[in-house]
Chain A
Amino acid sequence: MKFIVCVKQVPGSNEVRLDPETHAIIRDAHAAVINPLDYVALDCAVKLKRRNGGEIIALSMGIPATERLLRDACARGADRAMLLTDRAFAGSDTLATSYALSLGIEKEGSCDLILCGKNAIDGDTAQIGPELAATLGYNLITDVTEVIDIDKKFITAVKTTDSGSETVKAALPAVITLLNGREMPALPTVSGVRYSLEAPVDKYTAAELGADTSRTGFAGSPTSVVKTFVSENTRECRDMGLDAAAAAAFLIDEIRKAGGAQ
């Protein structure tokens, strides 16, 4: 089976710096890490490969330095990697990104399962997985916490829902997006790191992918970030000087006034 895991480079610290003009996130290769939920997706692929055999390809779109993170993915179990890197991809929103990724996947020819982290910790949109499925015409299962079974034709997975969880069976090829499961994704090993330094990482430009450049980068991104700001915390603490019963009554009253539950 062929598994493709989409990984995104995100800032390694909580301090995200924005370009003052474009409002895009400034990506510093050295401090960057793979998005945590993408590790979960990779780990899931590693376990499925262990069970069913096959090949894992880590796929990313990003600056050339993203190669370092793709090699990290190879240290954690990917067999090889693909990096889509071109100035034409700069400034992509999720639509342009999923278009570029879909071209990378098509370049691979056939693929059984695409695994993505549900969302990235920087942009937090959770759109790439669903958009990829739509672009490629694949089935989609979001919010997966466990893959129960996979064979040549179907995947069965548990997904969380607002009211609990559901077990869903879908025909392959499919896209799944992953949430944290019970276990932390496995860490790399020394032998994995050794392998990763030699692992094939194929790089593709927009032209090599045959991309329509009106659908990539800034040109292909209908989303425009008008302004970003850190929201101000306007909550304040007041000492009401009430005992427990009076305080409870006061709170109930306030919640009612705000239109809350009766």
Chain B
Amino acid sequence: MLEVETLSVAYGAIQALRGVSLSVGEGSIVTLIGANGAGKTTLLRTISGLLRPGSGRIAFDGREITGRAAEDVVRLGISHAPEGRQNFAALTVRDNLLIGAYPVYRRHGKAGVQADQERVFALFPVLRQRERQMAGTLSGGEQQMLAIGRILMARPRLVLLDEPSMGLAPLVVREILKQIRRLPEAGTTVLLVEQNARSALAIADRGYVIETGRVVLAGSADELKRDPRVQAAYLGRATKGPPSKGSGLAITQE
């Protein structure tokens, strides 16, 4: 569904991505794990059209979308929930969802948008209780739920999720990941960027490990979980000795 080929992106003189290739199959959850500054966010921002690549190509459904503007990419069916939620803080939860439906607002009409909103509320019931509250007054977890719900309002076929677990309590992370895991059933493919490798690999089908702008490992989530390099660097297990009993807490490498 999404093919990224030898993508290179630079911020001025700083090369953030150096020939990254990856593919995301329809109906799957693919995760991209790596440390801070590895280039994960840059990759998502390039796919969604916020950044222009220096070289390489991006294809969605076989159609080249390299260098398209973000306003257009979302209309093709790729929605991006950027790092740090980025909701419209001074708008209500309901208005955030309405703005999320912007690309399809005219096509689907009020009834269609209303139905989509009900689907989001079914996914994250707490948002219904907060419907008339300003987005800026929500808790971190609720804001993340809103950020995901907001982009689902555009009925994307592929969502790009950037660090949905960031700064959240383990219980909340679990709740959010549970709902992300259900997205493919509803026809939404997921590309998930995470520092929280354990959680991400738990729900993903496939994964890529990215380091200093390069993909260094790729494979099924199970393969990656068993890979000693991944275990050492991202799952916080010593390569020698018994594996620690997972507490479910985020293990990240900074």
Pairing of A with B = no
